[in-house]
Amino acid sequence: MNYSRLFIPTLREVPADAVIASHRLMFRAGLLRKLANGLFAYLPLGLRSFRKIEQIVRDEMNAIGALELKPSVVVPAELWKESGRWDSMGESMLRVKNRLNNDFVVSPTAEEVFTTIVRDELSSYRQLPAALYQINTKFRDEIRPRYGVMRGREFTMKDAYSWHTDDESLDDTYQAMGRAYRKIFKRCGLSVIPVKADSGAMGGSGSEEFMVESDVGDNTLILCKSCEYAANVEKASCAPDFTAFTSIEAAKAAAANTPAFEKTDTPNVKTIDELCSFLNMKPQKFIKTLIYRAINVELDLSSAPGCAKLERRKQSQDASQVKGGQAVYPEAFFAVAIRGDLDVNEVKLAAVLKASEVSLASDADVTRLTNAPVGFAGPIGLTGLPLIIEQTVTGMNGAVTGALEKDTHFKNAAYGRDFEAWMIEDVRTVTAGDKCPLCGGELYTKMGNELGHIFKLGYKYTRSMNVTYLDENGKSQMPIMGCYGIGLDRTLASVIEEHHDDAGIIWPVSVAPFHVIIVPIKYDGAVKEAAEKLAAGLNAAGIEVLLDDRNERPGVKFNDADLTGIPYRVVIGDKGLSASTPQIEVKRRGGKESYMIDLDKAASELTEKIKEELKQFI
Amino acid sequence: MNYSRLFIPTLREVPADAVIASHRLMFRAGLLRKLANGLFAYLPLGLRSFRKIEQIVRDEMNAIGALELKPSVVVPAELWKESGRWDSMGESMLRVKNRLNNDFVVSPTAEEVFTTIVRDELSSYRQLPAALYQINTKFRDEIRPRYGVMRGREFTMKDAYSWHTDDESLDDTYQAMGRAYRKIFKRCGLSVIPVKADSGAMGGSGSEEFMVESDVGDNTLILCKSCEYAANVEKASCAPDFTAFTSIEAAKAAAANTPAFEKTDTPNVKTIDELCSFLNMKPQKFIKTLIYRAINVELDLSSAPGCAKLERRKQSQDASQVKGGQAVYPEAFFAVAIRGDLDVNEVKLAAVLKASEVSLASDADVTRLTNAPVGFAGPIGLTGLPLIIEQTVTGMNGAVTGALEKDTHFKNAAYGRDFEAWMIEDVRTVTAGDKCPLCGGELYTKMGNELGHIFKLGYKYTRSMNVTYLDENGKSQMPIMGCYGIGLDRTLASVIEEHHDDAGIIWPVSVAPFHVIIVPIKYDGAVKEAAEKLAAGLNAAGIEVLLDDRNERPGVKFNDADLTGIPYRVVIGDKGLSASTPQIEVKRRGGKESYMIDLDKAASELTEKIKEELKQFI
């Protein structure tokens, strides 16, 4: 294709709001333009790469037997009301009323749509397993869209959903998806970090995120310097740096030698640092106690301390208390006791409580629930709410903790003897320097962006939307579900993040908009003729060629060739052509050296080279 | 691909709301499911055909040098406010407010988006002509979505836009688009009726619609039995069936022999039929006068009768009076005099007035403007509003017409002598039986659906959105635009409308989801082996095969093969295989006879046959 006929408006300047490389380069190389904050238009060059990524995703989905569907993007609110997500999705879901005042949703995801389609057609176990997907427009009304298509409002997602008769079948498809995802990212030339939700635990995982490193990533990743351990900080665990007592009896026995706990005055001490210096101790000897407010708690609290009067809202369609169709406690409070040098991870805590949201309680709530000012909560004598003991505390004997009284702490507190847990859980935030739960190696952190996610959904949607089939014995059963997403735009941007230099993009051949750019020094006479002949020869061999037919100075053409990142640049000039054997110059984008090859053999040599390179991405 | 692995939920019953064949068959053959009124999901079999149509459209657009872009589907309202269409698009445009209370539009079309992209990049005449397109989701909030995807709310449209320095360049692209559209529909196996807006007039056309015949079509087409004349009734003209006077003087001269007009009592006469029988005359002798109310009139009325006080609203962004950025009259009234046997075509009238809407005036307005009750309007003495004389009236001498007085008509009215026109126009509705404007042949009507439309837009958007470029002399100029659309879903449904029988769909090979369906009588033993081997042989040759591996009775499989409409059905059974030379049965869907071919040669023979057939669609 001729450069002048393609619409490639390259820019010298960097758009003011473009702070990451992919955003800058997608604009500068003429791949993308902005229509509004978080809304973009792909231009021809960008769309060519986008379509290649789309086709790689489609190929790999088809290869594992997933079937492509195409539901509408705008879907009726009824489906979302049925699943309960009409209320729980919050403001990021774009809601529309049509002329008849009916509610619709501009799809942010499609569990409901696919589940309703399957529900209507599913009758027998013979139809399972089933895996369906779409590659379609999605909309999420991000509060702060930025970084170009890395975090846009409208984007294209491949979202797949599967239904199964049992866990084994779900796991088969889940594993196949995981392999397909690895292949997809490899074919795009991307280094992804697969992050399992519970890699620390034994057995299969129920969730795996595919991350790419990014300084502006949404996620903090915890990685091991010695092994392949990788986890989202929201779920990361670490090797114990404490010795827990094997049982509550062992804790009590060990505490026998510890003096009884006693009050100590700690006037005007506000922070743990001040407390440590006041009492001349390390934070590791302190038991920090935090009060949390949790929303929509699914966990059974019927016998939890202080929860006797809590009402569990029954399943209903209209209330915000519905979470996946389950009855939940709209609001509940919890105390969390944790070793003084550690932080509570609210995402881990929310998972433990099966709550939709967890945050620190207000000062008023803390005062009401602990009968003490903020800063003096402690596990001893705390009866008004359930006490969650972070596992680190189960090894603590002779610790300092708040005494539920102004300016007062307890010394010599001992787990088991002086207080017991309602639950013992791992809710600490893992940080750099902690030890790997797999190999004990040192952990470090990276910021990452999620490109894909595979997830065992369980019965959330089949239960709330009442999907059933008849098993081999004619008995009605509910299928179990998985879901699997990839953001295409973000994948494209991440390819550029990983493959660029100061001069521009360096496309992997698999997703490059063109394989070769031919730059005639002057588009005229013998040079023009040679350029056109070479282009025709390459095109005939299936190589995609961009021929820079513009009447521009060579420097401008070279800059644009570097900026647009076409893998092979071929320069044709009078000098090379007038050699005894006419020659042209070839340069691999991103490579250091250019080299001359014979014009006669150029088409076949380049074709061979590119086809060889493409094979690495299959 | 194996039938059992594909998701093809065929139905015996017809959905209650499916009144046309394509709607019935897309549901029954498992191509489509409904999510809500006018919102659908394509299932795998339907999507395969949809993607083939999409690729045909893309191929033909690329072939004429149009460049594909992909803007977001949700776009900022600002663009629509700039063009003035935020106000003029009405309720069919789906408007959304996001969490920040900003206005957005779920794109019904994309003139604004493409124009803004071009505006930002266009600087020189060297960049023109430019033709850009997308194949993307559109939404129109139809009041009465029906007939399945034939009139859905969400649909996929190929919409292209072009920009030019002059009319000749626009006409080149317009003609190329017209040829591409003919090729697209031919490749889909569709018989379309290209309907030019002004085929009756000499010279180039500025609008061409591509129609398919449909009993439930939105459009009435006027066609000639003798020549290729085809027009939308909204724009159709016919050969004169009257003799107009060559000039107003000639009309006056002819009227010299006609007695002066005089009043005649017509008590209790309410209709033209009653009037004709009361006065014993034919309707052709009567001049019917109708009062119309027109909205947003762009025509200059500064010297029109009764319009002196009308205010023309100046260009502004916020008023509904803005039409393409032009100043318009928000409301104006007109009288139209037409021969008594004819009807006024409101679309033709609106075009003449350059109005956005035209409708009969209310009784109160008629009484106010004619000083007479409804039913007695006439051209003689009518001074309060502009009088448009339908051209048929310019041959009338000695006619009957309303006398602007209750129960009274004038006899002996003569055009030119007794009344004159403010404008003389062709605004009659052409009907079956009228004469062809090209050849004089008899016209007839058909109902049709519009699949595509190519249209010379002129300067509407480049003017309202202020798009300019510098010409060869460095002077700022405004480009002229064209736009070109095809509805993909409607095209798919129309293929089924044209190609089906009582048993199901009969796909043209070019858009069939598969080329061959192999039906083993029993999927077992030698039959299974032969079926799999044949499938593999065909697949290797690039033929798309659906292998019915289900454990169903042959009758069920045959019915589903007919219903899903795969062009070639191959039946493999023990009997054929046990012949001295093993044989299989081949039947062309829609053909009458099946025939046996040797199993050994089946793959090559079928491949050759199908490739031959595919060639007809290139």
pLDDT at A324: 44
State the 10-residue block means of pLDDT for chain A, 618 residues long: 94 88 96 96 98 98 98 97 89 94 96 97 95 98 93 97 96 97 98 75 67 91 94 90 88 91 91 91 95 92 90 56 62 96 94 91 96 94 95 93 95 94 95 95 95 94 94 96 97 97 97 98 96 98 97 96 98 95 96 95 97 94
Does B474 share its domain with B413? no
A98 contacts in B (CB within 8 Å)? 94, 141, 153
Cα A472 to the chain's mean position, in Å? 38
User: Distance (Å, rounded) from C-alpha B340 to C-alpha B287?
Assistant: 5
Q: What CATH number does residue A376 fall under?
A: 3.90.960.10
For residue A242, tell me if it sits in a domain. no
Q: Which chain A residues are Cβ-neighbours of B160 within 8 angstroms?
A: none
Interhelix angle A488-498/A21-28, nearest 10 degrees: 100
Range of the domain at A522: 514-615
Subunit contact B78:A6, Cβ cutoff 8 A? no
Measured between beta carbons, the chain B residues lying within 8 angstroms of A73 are 73, 137, 139, 154
**Pair (B394, B523) in one structural domain:** no
Chain A interface disruption, residue of B33, B59, B98, B121, most A CBs within 10 A: B98
Residue A286 lies in a domain: yes
- Residue B105 pLDDT > 60, yes or no? yes
CB contact under 8 A, A36 and B120: no
Q: Which of B491, B496, B451 is nearest to B20 (CA)?
A: B496
| Interchain proximity A67–B7, CB inside 8 Å | yes
| List of chain B residues whose C-beta atoms are within 8 Å of the C-beta of residue A120 | 33
Q: Which of B97, B104, B546 should be substituted to probe chain A, the one whose Cβ sees the most A Cβ atoms within 10 Å?
A: B104
Query: How far apart (Å, rounded) are the C-alpha atoms in residues B131 and B528?
Result: 52
**Which amino acid does the sequence have at B35?**
L
Would you say residue B318 has pLDDT above 50? no
- Alpha-carbon distance of B157 to B485, in angstroms, equals 7
Rounded to the nearest angstrom, the minimum Cα separation between A47 and chain B is 7
Give the HSE-up count for residue A224: Cα atoms under 13 Å, Cβ half-sphere: 20
> Nearest chain A Cα to B136, which residue?
A137
What is the spatial distance between Cα B320 and Cα B328, in angstroms, rounded to a whole number? 10
Q: Name the residue facing B106 among A5, A99, A106 (closest C-beta).
A: A106
The pLDDT score that the predictor gives to residue A216 is 87
When CB atoms are compared, the residue of B98, B113, B116 closest to A94 is B98
pLDDT of residue B104: 97
DSSP lists the bridge partners of residue B411 as: B262
Q: Is residue A181 part of a domain?
A: yes
Classify residue B64 by burial, with Cβ atoms within 10 Å: 0-12, 13-18, 19+.
Answer: middle
Among A390, A425, A460, the domain boundary falls at A425
pLDDT of residue B244: 87
Cα dihedral: B550, B554, B555, B560 (round 10) = 40
In this structure, the answer to whether residues A286 and A337 fall within a common structural domain is yes
pLDDT at B317 over 60: no
Residues A103 and A84 in one domain: yes
Tell if the CB–CB gap between B132 and A92 is shorter than 8 Å.
Answer: no
Q: What single-letter DSSP state applies at residue B151? A: B
Distance, C-alpha B390 to centroid of its chain: 27
Q: What is the ipTM of this complex?
A: 0.89
Last residue of a domain, one of B393, B425, B457: B425
Residue B7 lies in a domain: no
Contact between A361 and A293 (Cβ < 8 Å): yes
Map tokens 């009993």 to a residue: B215
Residue B199 has a pLDDT of 38
Digit-coded pLDDT (tens) for B427-436: 999 999 999 9
Cα(B250)–Cα(B245) distance, integer angstroms: 6
Number of H helices, E strands in chain B: 16, 32
Reported as a single tens digit per residue, the pLDDT across B189-239 is: 999 999 986 533 333 458 899 999 998 898 999 999 999 899 999 889 999
Residue B586 pLDDT exceeds 70: yes
Domain at B208, CATH number: 3.30.930.10
Contacts of A162 in chain B (CB under 8 A): none
> Are A207 and A73 found together in one domain?
yes
The phi, psi pair for A249, rounded to 5°, reads: -65, -45
Q: Is B506 a domain residue?
A: no
Q: What is the DSSP string of A101-128?
A: --EEEE-S--HHHHHHHHHHH--BGGG-
Same domain, B403 and B281: yes
Residue where a domain stops, chosen among A377, A397, A425: A425
A229 and A256 in a single domain? The answer is no
Residue B278 amino acid letter: F
Residue B89's alpha-carbon distances to A106, A131, B107, in angstroms, are 21, 41, 11
Percent of chain B scoring above 70 in pLDDT: 96
Query: Rounded distance, CA B74 to CA B106, Å?
Result: 5
Q: Nearest-CA neighbor of A195 among A236, A161, A140?
A: A236
Do both B520 and B564 map to the same domain?
A: yes
Q: How close B118 gets to chain A, by Cα (Å)?
A: 10
Paired tokens of A226: 């010695």
A352: which 2 tokens?
């433990």
* A55 lies in the same domain as A151: yes
**Among B1-10, B12-21, B582-591, which stretch is predicted with the lowest mean pLDDT?**
B12-21
Same domain, B396 and B348: yes
Average pLDDT value for chain A: 93
| Predicted TM-score of the model (pTM) | 0.89
Strand, coil or helix: what is B393?
Answer: helix
**B32 part of a folded domain:** yes
Confirm if A142 and A463 have CB atoms less than 8 A apart: no
Q: How many CB pairs under 8 A join A and B?
A: 140
Residues of B with Cβ-Cβ distance to A116 under 8 angstroms: 35
Interface touch A35/B7, C-beta < 8 Å: no
- Digit-coded pLDDT (tens) for B275-295: 999 999 999 999 999 999 999
Q: Which residue has the tokens 């433990």?
A: A352
Mean pLDDT within B95-112: 96
Residue tagged 């959905």 (tokens): B15
- Number of folded domains in chain A? 3
Q: Choose the weakest-confidence range: A528-542, B255-269, B473-487.
A: B255-269
pLDDT of B202 reads: 35
Which comes out higher in pLDDT, residue B201 or B79? B79
The reply to whether A181 and A145 lie within a common domain is yes
Subunit contact A35:B79, Cβ cutoff 8 A: yes
Residue A409 is assigned to a structural domain of this protein: yes
- DSSP one-letter string for B98-146: -TT--EEEE-S--HHHHHHHHHHH--BGGG-SEEEEEEEEEE---SS-B
A337 and A453, same domain (yes or no): no
Minimum-distance CB partner of A70 among B47, B95, B120: B47
pLDDT at residue A320, as a whole number: 40
State chain B's mean pLDDT as an integer.
Answer: 93
In the predicted structure, residue B321 carries a pLDDT above the cut 80: no
A67:B73 CB<8 A: no
The CATH number covering residue B523 comes to 3.40.50.800
Burial of A102 (0-12, 13-18, 19+ CB in 10 A): middle
Which pLDDT score, from 0 to 100, does residue B305 have? 92
Please give the Cα distance from B354 to B329 (Å, whole number). Answer: 10
Binary contact (B76, A35; C-beta < 8 A): yes
- Please check whether residue B179 lies inside any domain of the structure: yes
d(CA B520, CA A479): 31
Amino acid symbol at A26:
M
Whole-number pLDDT of residue A41: 98
